Structure 1
Amino acid sequence: MGKFGSASMRWVYRLDDRNGEINGIPELLQLGCQKLAEAYPITFHSHDQGYEFVYVVNGIITWEIDGEYYPVNAGQWFYTRPGELHRARFDHLEPCRIWWFVLKDPSGESDWLRLDRDELAFIADRLEQLPRIFRAGPRASEQFARLKSTLENDMPNKELFARHQVLDILLGMLQQPAAKPVDPDLKQSIATVIEEFARNPEARFSIEQMALSVGVSVSHFYKLFYELYGQAPVAYMERIRMEHACALLRTDRLITDIAMELGFKTSQHFTTVFKKLTGSSPSEWRKHVRDSK
């Protein structure tokens, strides 16, 4: 049996401490899912033996590797190579829902997921060529849920099912889905709305106003926005607002003044929103930035 770790809205299936395997599948080092309503701490770490793949179901996550930031939208994969040090920006995951798993590096292996030599060479080569961020297929959540169910339940030939389900997820990543076409003019119109908001982060544009400026219905605007940016419009705007807050907190401005400049009616409301997205209060974040210089 494997070993479960649990926390609020978090499920993790880890290596069995006794035999170092998950139900006879040594290639699967870890599997997990998590739904976050507020920031969750993820500091610098690495996986020396394996590739980590994170699939974002909804929300946006920003990862940091070697000082470079990688924003990952809903419907996208992000991955790290064996031994690659990485963390969530500000040491906290933003509110989101994710699946992830860690697969043992196939390099130098002779019986990885029971593949033959040519298949194994193909997998190892494709893993090396993957972009840091790439689109997921429409079945990713379903595939993960099926694997989770298999691992949780006793059933005949459990190892067989789990091994093929891991391979199904992996091949789904390597076989990139066709991109959904979005009208270029609509895409540019939505980008213009975001640029306008970035120049005026104190503004509180309604979805109706944004949809009207783009020339589509509210429901169509919401759908297009989510496809392009992985979040609801209001949540995305709040994220931009907090980006401005971080920049202003690097100055000596009073936190109350920053809150007012960004359109918050009270500094308490500003603090609540800021902490939800970054895991720290504005004063804590400012202190951390100054102490790290």
Structure 2
Amino acid sequence: MKRFGSASMRWVYLAEDESGLIAGVPELLQLGYQKLAEAHPIPLHSHDQSYEFVYVVNGNITWEIGGEYYPVNAGQWFYTRPGELHRARFDHLEPSRIWWFVLKAPSKGSAWLRLDQDDVAFVADRLQQLPRIFPARSSVSEQFTRLKTTIESDMLNKQLFARHQVLDILLGMLQQPAAKPIDPDLKQSIASQVKEFERNPEARYSIEKMAHSVGVSVSHFYKLFYELYGQAPVAYMERIRMEHACTLLKTDRLITDIAMELGFKTSQHFTTVFKKLIGSSPSEWRKHVRDRT
């Protein structure tokens, strides 16, 4: 397992590097887990003849495909189709915790995951119909952990267990769980709070006042907000603030002035937060954007 940073962790299985580790499951090309305490580089890439699925355990990450942005919250899946170019927004993945796997695309006439031909055709068709972002079942982390344990073990018939565990995760995606009901009025009230902040990202909002205006306790407000947006309110607001900072950095304004406008007492504190979420310092990001235009 490769580790980096004081609170970050990364584990990756690559079939091409393992020389038959689970030779009975050639469809599983990659499996990985990342806990990111700061932004991590994910540049433009694709997977030939295979799907990539990313499950967000916590945090909030944004992917880019063909100039379109896809924000993904905790408890959601994101996936890309074979050969589809994609990357993390700004080429960096936000602080988060994720599982992901890359699976060879099922093809007609193949013995894909040793399913019969009708089942292979069914899976192939359903994969094409999946929305870009969709909810995950609560058991996904446990399923991934079990698969990771199988891959790392010396157990007999590990290929059998691994194959069925991969299939278990896949079928869980294809059979969508029922959405958790949240009172529509509460949902709308919280959405109004979020829109107000997005209009005024330089403001500093009190969580207590936000909860009071919605009519719930602070703890319940945190719970509802996390279910809706995949992050704690403070973390979400900081991310929106840094997105606004990116817009301001495209102008000729001094970085110190931008930091002050966004409510930071020092430009050093602003730089620390910006680099953690975006992956580079404000000056480096500005230079990168200007070099690309």
Bigger shift: residues 250-259 or 203-212: 203-212
Question: Once the 2 structures are TM-superposed, how far is the Cα of residue 122 of structure 1 from its aligned partner?
Answer: 0.4
SS of the residue corresponding to residue 188 of structure 2 reads helix
Q: Distance in 2 between matches of 1:59 and 1:18?
A: 30
- Structure 2 counterpart of 1:274: 274
- Structure 1 counterpart of 2:140: 140
- C-alpha spacing 1:45/1:20, structure 2 compared with 1 (3 Å): farther
Q: Distance in 2 between matches of 1:180 and 1:18?
A: 40
- CA offset digits 1:223-266 (Å, max 9, x no partner): 00000000000000001101110111111111000000000000
SS of the residue corresponding to residue 163 of structure 1 reads helix
Counterpart amino acid of residue 262 in structure 2: L
SS of the residue corresponding to residue 2 of structure 2 reads strand
SS of the residue corresponding to residue 98 of structure 2 reads strand
- Structure 2 counterpart of 1:262: 262
Matches within 5 A, 1:153-172: 153-172=153-172
- CA offset digits 1:117-139 (Å, max 9, x no partner): 11111000000101111110111
SS of the residue corresponding to residue 258 of structure 1 reads helix
- Structure 1 counterpart of 2:75: 75
Counterpart amino acid of residue 117 in structure 1: Q
Question: Once the 2 structures are TM-superposed, how far is the Cα of residue 192 of structure 1 from its aligned partner?
Answer: 1.1
Counterpart amino acid of residue 15 in structure 1: A
Q: Distance in 1 between matches of 2:18 and 2:11?
A: 20
Q: Percent identity?
A: 81
Matches within 5 A, 1:23-102: 23-102=23-102
Bigger shift: residues 178-187 or 107-116: 107-116
- Structure 1 counterpart of 2:126: 126
> RMSD of the TM alignment (CA)?
1.2
| Unaligned runs of at least 5 residues, structure 1 | none
- CA offset digits 1:90-130 (Å, max 9, x no partner): 00000000000000010235211110011111000000101
Bigger shift: residues 198-207 or 128-137: 198-207
- Structure 2 counterpart of 1:221: 221
SS of the residue corresponding to residue 100 of structure 2 reads strand
Q: Distance in 1 between matches of 2:59 and 2:99?
A: 12
| Unaligned runs of at least 5 residues, structure 2 | none
Structure 1 residue runs of 4 or more that deviate by more than 4 Å after TM superposition: 18-21
Question: Once the 2 structures are TM-superposed, how far is the Cα of residue 22 of structure 1 from its aligned partner?
Answer: 3.3
User: Which residue among 1, 6, 31 is the counterpart of 2:2?
Assistant: 6
Q: Distance in 2 between matches of 1:20 and 1:132?
A: 32
Contact 1:22/1:29 (CA < 8 Å) preserved in 2? no
- Structure 2 counterpart of 1:193: 193
Aligned residues: 289
Counterpart amino acid of residue 84 in structure 1: E
- CA offset digits 1:62-97 (Å, max 9, x no partner): 001111111111010000111111100000000000
TM-score by length of 2: 0.96
- Structure 1 counterpart of 2:110: 110
Q: Distance in 2 between matches of 1:71 and 1:20?
A: 36
SS of the residue corresponding to residue 60 of structure 2 reads strand
Q: Distance in 2 between matches of 1:71 and 1:239?
A: 12
Contact 1:16/1:22 (CA < 8 Å) preserved in 2? no
Q: Distance in 2 between matches of 1:18 and 1:173?
A: 27
Q: Distance in 2 between matches of 1:213 and 1:35?
A: 34
SS of the residue corresponding to residue 85 of structure 2 reads coil
Contact 2:51/2:81 (CA < 8 Å) preserved in 1? yes
Question: Once the 2 structures are TM-superposed, how far is the Cα of residue 21 of structure 1 from its aligned partner?
Answer: 6.5
SS of the residue corresponding to residue 90 of structure 2 reads helix
Contact 1:249/1:282 (CA < 8 Å) preserved in 2? yes
Question: Once the 2 structures are TM-superposed, how far is the Cα of residue 198 of structure 1 from its aligned partner?
Answer: 1.7
